[in-house]
Amino acid sequence: MMNVKTVLATAALTLFAIGAQAEEALADPREIVRKAERVAFYSGDDGRSEARMLITDNQGRRQVRQFTILRNTRDDDQTQDMMVFFSRPADVRNTVFRVIKRAETDDDRWLYLPGLDLVKRISAGDKRTSFVGSHFFYEDVSGRSTDLDDYELLETTDEHYRLRGTAKNPSEVEFSHYEVTIDRETLLPVGTDYYNDRGEVYRQMEVKKIETIEGYPTVVHSIMRDLDTGGETEMQFRNVRYDLGIPENIFSERSLRNPPTDWLN
């Protein structure tokens, strides 16, 4: 959704993705994560994708969520608007997740609940909680600001960078640290292990498939596993498009109650 245009372009890239392939290995960990963020969340000027989440709990019971993501990067190339419109199942239909993503500061997030006709602001304390019942967190969908963490480059191979991330404010997160693997060719994050205070991996993200769509490396299949409970959520994307000319005025509070159907169907 990783990522998605939420991303999911998450990807960012923009400029670096393909060009970076032939370059020498990067040595500055912050430069690596910032380029990875661009590739993962900022590909193209805007984008649209359809997503399907398959949620499996620790008893093997399954639920499906389907939604469409619209995304637009503003002219400052730092601020991004994202809206996620749910279509299935019936109990979440017309639910909308709205994000204003900023490169240098934390994001603003809201959830529109149609049954209550209520717009709920996702507080900083809730951003690392379940995204509509899945094993992804709200912060996973829109991306965690790279300025919130310190980074250490652990390893560089011919294929990957592996970095350790530690929150600058540990009281705001449930992990002690995480280790992220970034593909050197695409600069997309392809795996993240989250560690608890006992030094054990309790949560794990894995990218299962990447496709180059309209020139942008794009994650089209990923999985988030909760190793404590045994549950997991797969996320798959289809009909991913970039640079569609989506009007900026679509990304407003008005669209929470009046979705832009021309861009969703």
Question: Which of 30, 41, 132 minimizes the C-alpha distance to 82?
Answer: 41
Q: Is residue 16 part of a domain?
A: no
CB 234 within 8 A of CB 207: no
Q: Is residue 218 part of a domain?
A: yes
What's the rounded mean pLDDT across residues 170-197?
97
Tokens for 161, please give them.
Answer: 């960078």
Q: 254 — phi, psi (to 5°)?
A: -60, -35
DSSP 3-state assignment of 122? coil
Task: List all residues 6 or more positions away from 26 whose beta carbon is below 8 Å from its beta carbon.
Answer: 32, 35, 161
Q: Is residue 183 part of a domain?
A: yes
Q: What confidence score (pLDDT) does residue 29 get?
A: 97
Across the chain, what does the average pLDDT equal?
A: 90
Count of residues in the chain: 265
What's the rounded mean pLDDT across residues 83-107?
91
Domain that holds residue 40: 29-259
Q: What confidence score (pLDDT) does residue 106 get?
A: 79
Q: Is residue 153 part of a domain?
A: yes
Q: Is residue 145 part of a domain?
A: yes
Tokens 């997030």, residue located: 109
pLDDT higher than 50, residue 16: no
Task: List all residues 6 or more positions away from 263 whose beta carbon is below 8 Å from its beta carbon.
Answer: 48, 70, 244, 246, 250
pLDDT higher than 50, residue 100: yes
Specify the number of domains making up the chain.
Answer: 1
CB 130 within 8 A of CB 137: yes
Contacts 24+ apart (CB under 8 A), 210-214: 210/183, 210/186, 211/240, 213/240, 213/241, 213/242, 214/44, 214/241, 214/242, 214/243
Task: List all residues 6 or more positions away from 139 whose beta carbon is below 8 Å from its beta carbon.
Answer: 127, 128
Q: Is residue 265 part of a domain?
A: no
What's the rounded mean pLDDT across residues 215-242?
97
CA neighbours within 13 Å on the CB side: how many for 183?
Answer: 23
CA dihedral 69, 75, 79, 80 (to 10 degrees): 0
CB 16 within 8 A of CB 76: no
pLDDT higher than 90, residue 203: yes
Q: Is residue 24 part of a domain?
A: no
What's the rounded mean pLDDT across residues 167-174?
94
Report angle CA 178, 181, 183 to the nearest 5 degrees. Answer: 160
Confidence of residue 7 (pLDDT cuts 50, 70, 90): very low
Q: Which residues share a beta bridge with 219?
A: 210
Percent of the chain with pLDDT over 90: 82
Give the domain CATH number at 134: 2.50.20.10
The per-residue pLDDT for range 23-80, each reduced to its tens digit, is 689 999 999 999 999 999 999 999 999 999 999 999 999 999 999 999 999 988 889 9
pLDDT higher than 70, residue 10: no
What's the rounded mean pLDDT across residues 4-8?
45
pLDDT higher than 50, residue 196: yes
Q: What confidence score (pLDDT) does residue 23 get?
A: 63
127 residue type, one letter = K
246 residue type, one letter = I
Q: What confidence score (pLDDT) does residue 9 get?
A: 45
pLDDT higher than 90, residue 150: yes
The per-residue pLDDT for range 246-264, each reduced to its tens digit, is 999 999 999 999 999 999 9
Q: Is residue 4 part of a domain?
A: no
